[in-house]
Amino acid sequence: MGSLSGITVVTFEHAIAAPFCTRQLADLGARVIKIERPGTGDFARNYDERVSGLASHFVWTNRSKESLTLDVKQPDAVDIVHQLLAQADVLVQNLAPGAMQRMGFDYASLHERYPRLIVCDISGYGLDGPYRDKKAYDLLIQSESGFLSITGSEDEPAKAGCSIADIAAGMYGYTNILSALIERQQTGRGRHIDLSMLESMVEWMSYPLYYAINDQPPPRRTGASHATIFPYGPFVAGDSKTVMLGLQNEREWKSFCDVVIRLPEIAGDDRFNANSKRVANQDQLREIIHEVFSTLRADEVVVRLEEAGIANAQVNDMQAVWNHGQLRARGRWTEVDTPAGRVPALYPPGLTARDEPVMAAVPALGEHTEAVLRGLGYDETRIAGLRERGVV
């Protein structure tokens, strides 16, 4: 059933931020009705064809939803939306700024008619302010939020390899909606959530922001290494394989010197006996570490790190993650249906197979149009008429 069983979500969504938000709600049992444009649908359906002809982004963010096609420029479609909203608990949207207002589906237009409805607007910069109408995509928000300024190498900034700004906004949308549902139990009233990708990412930038407070220099771009702790990052062993490791305190530093590099005299060296000194003199320390690691295989380095209690990790590629032993041992994989057949899917973090999260199919475009309309009382003749006029 899921903890959100009985909750209905209507969504005007595309790309990633809003679909990722509503998929979390669907995982918990909410009924999510995704309204898509007839013929084309969510443009993320066509990003690529990597999942047996389906788009990787779409498969990831749209399981367990119902796809309803509507041309909302037509009055009959607008009427259908209002019928859905009369029964809905939540409306989520991430269309272009002003689009919902022009259709009469913004919070100000809906609140009096549907006082219990929770409306979550996800946008690049928020619904007001000088940047309101500025186009916003994930990479652009990574840039605007300062993320790119601290990510990459010293010579060149780099974006995150996943849609981190969309994911941040989607998760804050999800948690704000859950909070609003709890609040509504107490007040009986819905509420408006005005969520921006920029604010979501700036919240995640708080450590670098505070590090650079009062015009102090910001963290340097250091590739896969930590900007303010050393040694913390990738180190190459003698077999050319990379080991990722990280120290957190002086006790670990001493253990690293004693057990891993086996140079106990280095621990008290005045160049390295505090983290700030190790960061300042990291080129010299890196040379010492590499000299030791060059005589060892990566697996031998890992054995020493484990013995010393030093955190370490493998630098996995995507295929290694698909086959990760820890995920397999914990039973984290299941399968979901798609229009192209069954595909693997990760259980939602925090939930297990015993919790029976909703892991239903990724919908084909318009797959549930007839079923949704029948649920609203439309018969075959009326549905056929809507199809003829291009409403659905």
Q: 239 with 297: CB under 8 angstroms? A: yes
Q: 108 with 115: CB under 8 angstroms? A: no
Look up 368 and say whether it is catalytic.
Answer: no
Q: 16 with 57: CB under 8 angstroms? A: yes
**Which residue in 381, 383, 380, 343 sits closest to 361, CA to CA?**
343
Distance CA 164, CA 147 (A): 10
Catalytic residue among 192, 226, 324, 368: 226
Structure tokens at 161: 């390899």
DSSP string of 243-290?
Answer: EEEE--SHHHHHHIIIIIS--GGGTT-TTTSSHHHHHHTHHHHHHHHH
Q: 200 with 165: CB under 8 angstroms? A: yes
Q: 275 with 230: CB under 8 angstroms? A: yes
Rounded to 5 degrees, what are φ and ψ at 305? Answer: -65, -40
Q: Are strands 333-338 and 341-346 parallel, antiparallel or unpaired?
A: antiparallel
Structure tokens at 251: 């006790």
Rounded to 5 degrees, what are φ and ψ at 69? Answer: -90, 130
Residue spans of alpha helices (H) in the chain: 17-27, 56-61, 75-87, 99-103, 107-110, 138-144, 164-187, 197-204, 206-211, 250-255, 275-280, 282-293, 298-308, 318-322, 325-329, 369-375, 380-388
Which amino acid, 106?
D
Structure tokens at 59: 């498969």
Residue 306 neighbours by CB under 8 Å, 6+ apart: 312
Prior bond of 357 cis (ω within 30°): no
Catalytic residues: 226
